[in-house]
Structure 1
């Protein structure tokens, strides 16, 4: 049995240490974020107010990622990760101090989230390249599946643990747990993980300025249209998904049958679906067509969950929607990750991943802002003016939260159209059979 496990995870021993400890730290951070979203919504009762928390986190990430990759290719990856993790811990500690002193305001969280996002901007490309350095090429899909599994486990556990700690001990305990997980991850990375540094990572960067190096990532994407169009595909999906994320707490915390427990249960089902999908993606052999796996996974997700959230009337239906909507997302992520790592040279990955982050994720803060505005200013007022016997009321219910349900119905069609459009993109399909040797 032990020999089989050694064969299955051959060459991944150091990666597993990094993966496990960073995943533990991610659990603490996710629990804090979950608790603060609930705190923000309870303070203001506004979808826009709570969605701005995530928008502020992503804004610096999107604006500065392209330069972060250039710096990541120059800097020591391990040192960069340690410094950025420490900066994130300081941001969390500042929230705790403001809470203890009774000074915490919503605008404090916006500023702190923006600073946290800045640290993540520098940390993410270093972390992505570290995974490539620690992982044999033949294990790329398994490593991607394991990362998807840990992310899924975080999705399951963070709402459950955060809700339990909030109810029993308050938000202070949630933040203290976050700081504990950071300490464990920091010490493990500092003393037990050795990242192999490659001279290749310094090619074409020693003499070039940061701006020129950043431009190399964009030039690479311009010359490789399949990768670029795949990134734009995900950017459009992220826009739809961010509108969904902005509207979900507003609907589940306010409509009939919804509650904080309902939000936690739906989030837990999302995580369970992700875990199941991650196990499938980790242990199944590589598909004959990674592009087809990506396209079909996203189409299935977009055509199921949003309709069930829009038309459902209780937690069981919403949970079913979460399971169907997220079951194959790890399959998509795993194939996307393996495709990128195989196709993009490792010495270019920091720059290209950062250019990807700017292009693929700029729609996330836009989507959160758009979702908050649409819920508060468009769909909720529209549903409030409807008679009980009207078609919208019969479909989406009445009272607060029905507007968010109507919005889910609209973005379901938007997601399907995006999938069908990019599924016809010839540049993406040309990636089949190509690889970086």
Structure 2
């Protein structure tokens, strides 16, 4: 009991931040989920729906390098509060437009750009804040807990969003989002203290110099940079998947809003199981091997089963197999980054990582929407009844998205096998086996 009390006392600031931010993330996820359904039913276009995420990620990718340098200079707590407030204000504007029956997809594009800008600055500040308030010995446990919250939200989001949307409408979903924001804002403002450095060192550096240091650091850390490029390639495949997923689930024979929610809930359950495993499993002998094997396992099942399956049961099994190993990958990646990157450099390096690792996401969303609407759906519509492709992927709207899943399955496996051969990535395995923190120390100022 004394050990549990000590653990709770040492982790209390993080637990408060984690729980309230996770609650707020649930509200935001419900809004995003409901808006995807709303926008697709309005336009019936995978590309126009995918552009919502393009607008969210594009500013995140473009400005992340500078955001990290600013985050290292600025007070982390104030940065997080300001970014959350601006995002909440844009949500209020969306609610007003909806109440006046003036909301259009074009408004959502602008709102997502604003939210993307706020997330660009907030994300590196949040990452550094966790490092500052948490002892290093809890990094792996916390990595699992964070993905546990993400998994729980993935389970609850389609269930709650569909229920609230059906009972009280889109406005009620947005109001719930604002209430969760308020709970997180109050807790962060009055209950959590995030240690800060003096910041004197930044007075001698320009913003460009500070941002450039993150790039210079990654040039010398070839193993970390290799992992980032690996995940950038995986994100390209995953975002094509994300763009095609609603088009298939809402259009394919046997699919609808309920089925889409069911598959998403199963994916959330898989992530929850994987998060529990990541929280309780001991330190692996090779974190790099876990990362590579987890991604290869995920790419080897889900896309094929979504492409070739014809029933919700097969789609659910594919979703479960595709996501159960992802928390293990993310947790081990998180430990490698936190223990290798010096604390005083983390904001800048994380932001550069975001630009390199996530720049493929808006590209993937655009490609996914374009390929579904302009290539694969027309290709399948032109097939004669009884043709090989019709027997393989079915007919009607949604069959083109299924064909796209089949293609990206091979692409994803190829990416995993290619980067698995990178010797610089495997050098991280040798360094992590020592169990030592390689660079930097905890800054307790």
Matches within 5 A, 1:124-273: 124-199=123-198, 202=199, 204-273=201-270
Residues of 2 paired with 1:314 and 1:8: CA distance? 46
Aligned residue in 2 for 1:436: 439
Which consecutive residues of structure 2, in runs of 5 or more, have no partner in the other structure?
433-437, 441-445
| TM-score using structure 2 length | 0.96
User: Secondary structure of 1:399's partner?
Assistant: coil
Flag the 1:388–1:4 CA change in 2: closer, same or farther, 3 A: farther
d(CA) in 2 for partners of 1:139, 1:56: 35
Q: CA RMSD in A?
A: 1.1
Distance 1:410 1:428 in 2: 27
1:431 Cα deviation from its structure 2 partner: 1.0
Cα shift at 1:414: 0.3
- Output the CA distance in 1 between the equivalents of 2:18 and 2:136: 17
Q: Which residue of 2 aligns with 1:19?
A: 18
**C-alpha distance in structure 1 between counterparts of 2:373 and 2:193, whole Å:** 49
- 1:283 shift after superposition: 1.2
Aligned to 2:435: none
Contact 1:295 1:423 in 2 (8 A): yes
Give the paired residue count: 434
Kindly provide the CA deviation profile for residues 281-307 of structure 1, in whole angstroms up to 9, marking residues without a partner as x. Answer: 011111010000000000000000000
Partners in 1 of 2:272 and 2:228 — Cα distance?
A: 24
What SS does the corresponding residue of 2:367 show, helix, strand or coil? helix
- Structure 1 segment 310-321 matched on structure 2, within 5 A: 310-321=307-318
| 1:28 and 2:27 correspond | yes
Q: 1:36 to 1:414 in 2, by over 3 A?
A: same
1:99 aligns with 2:82: no
Question: Displacement of 1:5 after TM fit?
Answer: 3.3
> Matched residues in 1 for 2:247 and 2:13: separation?
42
Deviations 1:347-401 (A, max 9, x none): 0000000000000000000000000000000000000011121111111000000
- Relative to the length of structure 1, the TM-score reads 0.98
Counterparts of 2:398 and 2:200, CA distance in 1: 54
Q: Please name the residue that 1:64 is paired with.
A: 63
Aligned equivalents of 1:296, 1:6: Cα separation in 2 = 36
Equivalent in 288, 292, 297 of residue 291 of structure 1: 288
Q: Paired residue for 1:328?
A: 325
Q: CA deviation at 1:8?
A: 5.2
CA distance in 2, matches of 1:372, 1:416: 21
The alignment status of 1:367 with 2:370, answered yes or no, reads no
Q: Which of 381, 386, 390 pairs up with 2:378?
A: 381
The corresponding residue for 2:54 is: 55
The CA deviation string for residues 81-129 of structure 1, in whole angstroms up to 9 with x for no partner, is 0000001101111110000011111100000100110011110000000
Deviations, residues 315-370 of structure 1 (Å, cap 9, x unaligned): 00000000000000000000000110000000000000000000000000000000
How big is the shift at 1:249?
0.2
The 1-side partners of 2:385 and 2:169 are apart by: 39
Measure how far apart 1:198 and its partner are.
2.7
TM-superposed deviation, 1:6:
3.0
Distance (whole Å) between structure 1 residues aligned to residue 293 and residue 5 of structure 2: 33
3-state SS, counterpart of residue 361 of structure 2 = helix
In the aligned structure 2, how far is the partner of 1:429 from the partner of 1:51? 35
In 2, are the aligned partners of 1:203 and 1:347 still within 8 Å (CA)? no
Aligned-partner Cα distance in 1 for 2:221–2:384:
53
